Amino acid sequence: MNVTFANLGRNTDLRRMTIAAIGGFAFVCPLMEFVSVDVAPISFSSILFVAGMGALLGVGLTVLWSAMRARKHVEYLRLYSALNNMNQGLCMFDADDRLVVWNERYVNMYSIDPKHIWVGCKVPDLLNARIASGTFPLEPVHYDAELRTAIKQGNVFKLQIALPDGRVIAVVNQPMEGGGWVATHEDITERTRAERELEQTKSFLNTIIENVPSPIIVKELPGLRYLLINRAAERYLGIDREMVLGKKSNDVLPPATAETINAEDQKLVVSGQSTLVEEHAILTPANGTRIVTAIRFLVRGSDDQPQYLITVIRDLTDRRRHEQRIAHMTLHDTLTDLPNRAAFDECIGATVELAAKSKDSFALLCLDLDRFKEVNDVFGHTIGDALMREVSARLAQACQGAFIARVGGDEFVVVTPTGPQPATAEALAGKLHAALDTDIEINGRTLRAGLTIGIAVYPNDGADAESLVANANAALDRAKSEARGSIRFFEMSMDRQLREKRALQQDLRTAIARNELELFYQPQALIDGEVIGFEALVRWHHPRRGAVPPSTFIPLAEESGSIIELGEWVLRAACREAASWPRPLCVAVNLSPVQFERGDLPNLVHRILLETGLPPTRLELEITEGVLIGDFSRGLSILRRLKHLGVRIAMDDFGTGYSSLSYLQSFPFDKIKIDQTFIANLDHGQQSATIIRAVIALGRGLDLPVVAEGVETEEQLQFLTKERCNGIQGYYLGRPQPIEAYSDIVGRTPPRAKKPTIAAAG
């Protein structure tokens, strides 16, 4: 029995069948006895039969019950297998919030100790198990409360949990009918990372496309509706992209533009070939007409069918406008917008060529404004510029179609139409004069500008542009020298003078190489007669003409540009000479306004000082106000750079201009030199004496030394001494001579005795 039971113990179903057979026999025996009492006596065979039937009944019932259990077990195995093969972790809770089912994925996902999870445990138990394994980073009480509230209200409770190890789990708690809920836990780490990378990629591409300076427009196919428009395309169209996206060309663009673009779209779809639309004009919805080129191409899908139509636009409008402005500026004066010298050169050349073919005549008028410099000096450049614009407008209107250009600060040229000459030119000159006869109101000021005109007629006064221009300028020079405000036609005598002038300019260019230039030196002294320096003055000994006055060749040098080379020679020679003097006297050198306009003057001065070894404090540079009149900012900048070298800057010919006072305020000059015309007129009236007193007082107030030029008499010296002028220069002290005449002063020979008059003046 023990073995049998032992064997039954090894086979549960056999044990159950044996017990069922015994039970059936035990059940039938009493039944037989009951039956036998009423029917027939019990026999051994009947007992065996009944026992067999009972046992058979028990076994049958046992087999039937085992079969039913086996079916349920198979179903359980299938469910168990399904749950444990899920990619998601799963938990099921009953209506009492107790755990009834979970899978291995859930346990492994959160590294839960199997001892800490059981049927019937509740949410806090599970959360504690996860906290123990380090896989629940949230606040458990708050989480449990939110979960219960959502389930109670029949709502799905979702959230994403970022675990400390970097995984991201998506949790969905789904309520069930009749109570309870099912919770799924899905590891979405890779998906989240992929989505994040995809979003970053999309963001990157969007950023790139948004910041591409060229307009980019994408349409979907086959509908040809706008799908994408970048920021540059918004600016190009002039409207917000929200007004465009999802619409077709006809809904957005002007009809003519839409028709053109639709035709291009259809052509591209049919051909399938990328196209370059050359430069063309297109009318945009709200940004006017634009000049553009466009590259258009298709993008195909995975089925090789056209999916998108992309247009990349190059907007050339601003570039073309900029080029037009540059072209206009190249040929026009920035202040007056009249044609400039370059435009005049083109015009005069073309006019001469046309007149030569047609055998016609025309005239060239050179105009020079009178009193314009005075306006600039007295009222400043702002008023001067406004006056220049008004004068230019009046002259242009008076020309009535004739070509007019501004070729200099206050210089204009007019090319008349072909016609009878000189009558046509004379009539036009009269109209130009009349245009400036009336006063001009500028900012409440009443101003007046006159006009001097020189005229040359083609072909009598010049058969080519160069000759005609030169002769018209010669006529203008004659008019200015004889009578401001007049009109002069060119004459042959002017041509002779012009040829002489050109020859002299040509000779001047070679004067340095031929050693024809020489420096003379004139002493500069304190009022008591003590010589403190010399002014270097250039002289030209022409091999045929003899001594050419500086008043003749200096203007020629400035006009031709050779003053640059001449000025450099004078500066170097004067510094070299002064550096050789035993006594440390100063040397003064005059600078031309042209030297400020061309080249790097401060660098030249610095280089010459280094070459000659002359200390900067012994060099004095004399300038006139012309240096600052042309380009005030540039002139002032150069003066400051020169001052920074340590040289001294003197204002020469002070009192002859109108803006000197403002210049004294703008730059710290080291000296003021009173022009010699005021000294010469001391004996002819009180006006010069008053001006000299005012200048000396001004210098005293500004703590600036004042030197009087052109002092020739004892009376002039006594006046200046009385007025406490600081220094003098002139024939009374000494004439310009070669430095050998002043050897004693510079320390090369024993000093001469001072003039008694100068000593007495002290």
pLDDT in tens, 582-628: 999 999 999 998 888 888 899 999 999 999 999 999 999 998 877 77
Distance between CA atoms of 323 and 319, rounded to whole angstroms?
Answer: 6
| CATH class name, domain 212-321 | alpha beta
pLDDT digits (tens, 9 = 90+) for 251-262: 999 998 999 899
Question: What is the pLDDT at residue 758?
Answer: 40
Q: Which two tokens stand for residue 394?
A: 């009046």
Question: What is the pLDDT at residue 162?
Answer: 92
Q: Which two tokens stand for residue 366?
A: 């050179």
700 backbone dihedrals φ, ψ, rounded to 5°: -65, -40
Are the C-beta atoms of residues 110 and 133 closer than 8 Å to each other?
A: yes
**How would CATH label the architecture of 506-761?**
Alpha-Beta Barrel (3.20)
**pTM for the full predicted model:** 0.46
Question: What is the pLDDT at residue 98?
Answer: 93
| Neighbouring C-beta atoms of residue 293, cutoff 10 Å | 14
Return the ∠ at Cα 217 (arms to 215 and 221), rounded to 5°.
165
Question: What is the pLDDT at residue 16?
Answer: 60
Question: What is the pLDDT at residue 7?
Answer: 35
Q: Is the dihedral of CA 349, 354, 356, 362 positive or negative?
A: negative
* Nearest C-alpha neighbor of 505 from the set 564, 569, 562: 562
CATH 3.30.70.270 fits 331-490, yes or no: yes
Question: What is the pLDDT at residue 62?
Answer: 61
Are the C-beta atoms of residues 363 and 421 closer than 8 Å to each other?
A: yes
Question: What is the pLDDT at residue 67?
Answer: 57
| Neighbouring C-beta atoms of residue 640, cutoff 10 Å | 13
E strand or H helix that includes residue 368: strand 362-370
Distance between CA atoms of 47 and 51, rounded to whole angstroms?
Answer: 6
Question: What is the pLDDT at residue 3?
Answer: 31
* Nearest C-alpha neighbor of 590 from the set 541, 551, 641, 629: 551
Are the C-beta atoms of residues 557 and 521 closer than 8 Å to each other?
A: no
The pairing of beta strand 411-415 with beta strand 403-406:
antiparallel
Q: 523: Cβ–Cβ under 8 A, 6 or more apart, which residues?
A: 531, 533, 534, 729, 733, 734, 742, 745
The pairing of beta strand 586-590 with beta strand 619-623:
parallel
Residue 40 carries which side chain, given as an amino acid letter? A
Are the C-beta atoms of residues 144 and 123 closer than 8 Å to each other?
A: yes
Distance between CA atoms of 360 and 352, rounded to whole angstroms?
Answer: 9
Q: Which two tokens stand for residue 674?
A: 């009173």
Helix axes 12-38, 44-84, angle to 10 degrees: 150
Does residue 92 sit in helix, strand or coil?
strand
* Nearest C-alpha neighbor of 424 from the set 388, 445, 446, 400: 400
Integer CA distances (angstroms), 135 to 127, 162, 621, in order: 9, 9, 88
Q: Which two tokens stand for residue 309?
A: 């139509």
Q: 577: Cβ–Cβ under 8 A, 6 or more apart, which residues?
A: 519, 521, 536, 587, 739
Does residue 98 sit in helix, strand or coil?
strand
- At the topology level, CATH places domain 87-192 in Beta-Lactamase (3.30.450)
Are the C-beta atoms of residues 329 and 388 closer than 8 Å to each other?
A: no
Taking 50 as the pLDDT cut, the residues of the chain under it are 1-10, 36-40, 659, 754-762
Q: 400: Cβ–Cβ under 8 A, 6 or more apart, which residues?
A: 431
The pairing of beta strand 517-526 with beta strand 727-729:
antiparallel
